[in-house]
Structure 1
Amino acid sequence: MTAVSVAAASYFLVRRATLERVTAAAIRESRLNLEEVAERLPPSATTSDIEAFSERLTLRGGFEIVILDGAGSSTTTSFSLSASAVPAAMDAPVTAGRVVSNRTTVAGDPYLVVGGRVLPDERRWYFFFPLTDVVADLALVRNVLAGVGTVLLVLSALVGAVAARSLLRPIRRTRDAVHRVESGQLETRLPEQGRDELADLARSFNRMAETLEATVGDLQTLESDHLRFVADVSHELRTPLTALTTAADVLEANTEGLNEPGRRAARLLVVESRRLGALVEDLMEISRLDAGAASISWDPVDLATATAAALDRRGWRDQVAADLPGGITTYVDRRRLDTILVNLIGNALEHGRPPVGVSVASTSDRVSVAVSDAGEGIAVEHLAHVFDRFYKADPARPRSAGSGLGLAIARENARLHGGDVTVATGEGPGVTFTLVLPRRTHSPDSAADDGSPGVANPLHG
């Protein structure tokens, strides 16, 4: 009985400590959310403002929100939650301005609810943190302790106490193994010792890990074959496409003797051959980046001068509002910088709406070029995919003149420099792509030769 008591006590201690930790973390995050509400959401905010603001808060993940106003109306970020989900016991203290927590169940799902209010605003904010994973973990601990505690009934109190403390070790080992596999260490295995349930679990885990490792290996091989195929096909197409483009250019220059249908066909041939040629060049470029075969020729470049040159070469100067202060210099590959700028500005001109703007800025350790437009913006669900290759937010959208690789190539070239390209869109129209690069005072090649760091890169540690 001592062993059972120790096992039960261990479970309740773990349960209490876990719930206290989860509650403390939820209250801390809720206080931060309420501080942000106080700073950014005025009491006069409209319902649409409140809905948009609460949706932005929940983008951090881990909770949903129910907002009650003084008239009893509610706003929620989840279809499964409503005003009735708020525990009645929380209403009085939250109305009085206190931050309190309570646990509840909605449609069978457990939640930790933290409520608070930003005085003098009458709105009460309730943050619902799901406890499903916590309850599942506690159930696992409870079941393991119960099973092992039964076996330990025959042992002495001292052995039972020591065993109770050690029961969590296999679970922690299993948990750590799962986390390692989750992080990509697919070779992780658990020791298969004994014939009990934990040993069976270890054997099942190892079989799963072996299958997963083999599957991922097959997928990596398939991806490698795919990249090699794309590179080979692009290379083979390059020569005939060059000849086709040359012939199309000659045909375009000698259309006087053609009738109107012939001239239209000639123009179509020229446009499509050039588009296909650009696609092949983009495929070869992305293949080189994927293969790690891209090289950089470092030169000191004034970003304002480089941006203005890119606009002038393509005749975009009159279509773009440029804010290009001089003196912002860093070491980059000129060709690759031009590729990034052309892709970002061309994307704004093609898919956005005027005015399109480009601006150059800097801090002590980084430089940036921002390209913005006043188009419809990008929906939140598509933001994570804008740099995917050949991605279309709307599959029904007509084919554009681009290859579908421009933004992916821009980001890969930026990362090749130790920087990145980011995208941001607000509540209003428009979207902004920002190229961010380390501000280098000399070439990284010379830094590698003399052992000096060359730059403090905040983007990549």
Structure 2
Amino acid sequence: MTPPPGATTPAPVPTGGPGRVRRQLERLPAVLRHGPAFWRRSLQVRVVLSTLVLSALVVGVVGWFLIQQTRDGLLEHRVEAVVQEAEAETESARAALASTSGLDMDESGQQEALVQPIQARGATRGFAVVLSPPIDEGARLADGGAKFTEGLDLSSVPESLEARFDSVSPTAWTYTDIRTTRPIAGLPEGPGIVVGSQVRLPADDNTYTLYYLYPLAEQQETLALVSRAMLIAGVPLLVLVALLTWLVTRQVVTPIRMARRVAERLAAGHLQERLRVRGEDDLARLAMSFNQMASNLQKQIRQLEELSRLQRRFVSDVSHELRTPITTVRMASDVIHDARPFLDPVTGRAAELLQKELDRFETLLADLLEISRFDAGAAVLEAEDVDLVDVARRVVDMTSVLAEQRGTRVVLHEPGTRCVAEADVRRVERIVRNLVTNAIDHAESHDVEIYLGTDLQSSAIAVRDHGVGLEPGESAMVFNRFWRADPARARTSGGTGLGLSISLEDTHLHGGWLQAWGHPGQGAQFRLTLPRHLGVQLRHSPLPLVPTDARESA
């Protein structure tokens, strides 16, 4: 139905787009969709395909070379034969002309007497003949006056060969494309060879050129037969090469795949897994070496596990055993500390130092006990909805005295909204307190900044200082137990060296992230990310790990 006059035809709505492309890709076979993955992950596929491509290339090059050699040989043999035959025909024509030179015969009669025997022989031998006009007159075959085999198209004689015989010239030949105006028995259309040779007629004493046209149909069929034979032989050969390559690579790849599976099970903790040894070849010796390595690793891992177990038990036992004497010493220290007004200045100062070191010792003992609970898997969570903004405010209040002593400030950047996470408030507060005191200890009189952020899946808090920073590789080591970036640096905050390790364990207990960034001279930033709900796996953090000012300076 045509639209009325003046109406506009709406533009077609595009039906393409990413969705359509994705649907079309889904319709493809699994092998095509996952082809790149197979190529990357399968050594056997890469070897088989590479061998197949290289074999196809070699077979193609060798086949092309053989076909060219066969073609050149066939053509060379054919050219030699037709040139000899043409020269023989020309000699016969010259002899016939010499025998008729005394007869009373005009120019036309001699031309007929010259051409007709050759045409008769050509009809039986499969070639055509053309007699040109006299070359002294400068006429071309296309101008008329030539005598030739009936049905032959004179354009079959190339003009370049005609120009060759504009003057007296020896026998010459060239390739041509034989064309006919009607079918000629024994002379098919197609590629051919044309040979030119000259004779002189006694009647007018002019020179004429005889052109003999020979088809190459037999050679063309022979070449096609050879090409088909090579193609028919080449395809099964490539299939056989691919099959042999697959079988050979399978013998090599199968033990490698078994070794990979065993290595994966060893990495998963199944230390008793071993490779099956068959034969005495290189792969068998590799399997024996692999098994020996696995046995040595298993032995060393068990020794380390036993040593770690004894170490944890020692720390736990010593920590518990020290509780009783430290309580007694604490009671005595409190008595002496309370009696300072009645003591001389030196003894009073000693009582203060004793009280301070006892506080530090009790903190270390509490941290050791906490670490031993983590090692024993006895730590539990008392989870509830916690607002990280409230936690940050309390930590800022608790560390204000320490910050003032260090000549720095703790600046809290509140997000203006609640940052809620399901967590143990005591443990989260301990994590934030450890991060802030650590930042104060390394701030070098610069401000310590606290940032908070939240989204639908997680809440985060970041503590940023502008102090000495961290060297490359130290961001992963700061959470090791008793690790210190600079052993010569004094701990002014009275830390035990276990704060960040305990913070990391507390974070893992919540299923969260505790990460560190640092750069020499640009300070450091620690980021705590907690899931909004326990058991939810984290995928991202609402706060960047690298500070914005550090990215801008970089």
Under TM normalisation by the shorter chain, which class is it? Answer: 0.5 to 0.7
Q: CA deviation at 1:205?
A: 1.9
Counterpart of 2:366? 281
Counterpart of 2:442? 351
**Residues 1:215 and 2:300 aligned together:** yes
Counterpart of 1:377? 469
1:432 to 498, 513, 525: 525
**Residues 1:296 and 2:296 aligned together:** no
| Letter aligned with residue 458 of structure 2 | R
Normalization by structure 1: what TM-score? 0.59
Alignment of 1:144-183 (within 5 A): 163-168=247-252, 169-182=254-267
SS in 1 for 2:342: coil
User: Conserved in 1, the CA contact under 8 Å of 2:265 and 2:271?
Assistant: yes
SS in 2 for 1:310: helix
Alignment of 1:54-203 (within 5 A): 163-168=247-252, 169-182=254-267, 184-203=269-288
The CA deviation string for residues 398-431 of structure 1, in whole angstroms up to 9 with x for no partner, is 3552110000111110111111211112465211
Alpha-carbon distance in structure 1 between the residues aligned to 2:470 and 2:388: 27
Counterpart of 2:486? 394
User: Conserved in 1, the CA contact under 8 Å of 2:515 and 2:526?
Assistant: yes
How many residue pairs get aligned? The number is 302
User: Conserved in 2, the CA contact under 8 Å of 1:298 and 1:331?
Assistant: yes
CA spacing shift, 1:415–1:220, aligned 2, 3 Å: same
1:363 to 418, 436, 455: 455
**Residues 1:404 and 2:474 aligned together:** no
User: Conserved in 1, the CA contact under 8 Å of 2:453 and 2:460?
Assistant: yes
CA spacing shift, 1:17–1:278, aligned 2, 3 Å: farther
Counterpart of 1:448? none
Counterpart of 2:163? none
Counterpart of 1:458? 539
Counterpart of 2:356? 271
Counterpart of 1:323? 413
Q: CA deviation at 1:346?
A: 1.0
Larger radius of gyration: 2
Q: CA deviation at 1:288?
A: 0.6
| Letter aligned with residue 384 of structure 1 | A
Higher relative contact order (CA 8 A, sep 6+): 1
Q: CA deviation at 1:162?
A: 6.1
Q: CA deviation at 1:220?
A: 0.7
Unaligned runs of 5+ in 1: 1-9, 19-155, 445-452
Alpha-carbon distance in structure 2 between the residues aligned to 1:194 and 1:184: 28
Alpha-carbon distance in structure 1 between the residues aligned to 2:461 and 2:363: 24
**Residues 1:420 and 2:513 aligned together:** yes
Alpha-carbon distance in structure 2 between the residues aligned to 1:188 and 1:299: 43
Identity across the alignment (%): 37
Normalization by structure 2: what TM-score? 0.50
| Letter aligned with residue 273 of structure 1 | L
CA spacing shift, 1:270–1:326, aligned 2, 3 Å: farther
Q: CA deviation at 1:397?
A: 2.8
- What is the CA RMSD across the aligned residues, in angstroms? 3.1
| Letter aligned with residue 322 of structure 1 | L
Unaligned runs of 5+ in 2: 1-42, 52-239, 542-554
SS in 1 for 2:473: helix
SS in 1 for 2:328: helix
Alpha-carbon distance in structure 2 between the residues aligned to 1:240 and 1:194: 66
User: Conserved in 2, the CA contact under 8 Å of 1:302 and 1:326?
Assistant: no
Q: CA deviation at 1:185?
A: 3.9
Alpha-carbon distance in structure 2 between the residues aligned to 1:157 and 1:417: 58
Q: CA deviation at 1:435?
A: 1.0
Alpha-carbon distance in structure 2 between the residues aligned to 1:266 and 1:283: 25
CA spacing shift, 1:434–1:161, aligned 2, 3 Å: closer
| Letter aligned with residue 364 of structure 1 | L
Counterpart of 2:128? none
Alpha-carbon distance in structure 1 between the residues aligned to 2:420 and 2:243: 70
Alpha-carbon distance in structure 2 between the residues aligned to 1:392 and 1:200: 45
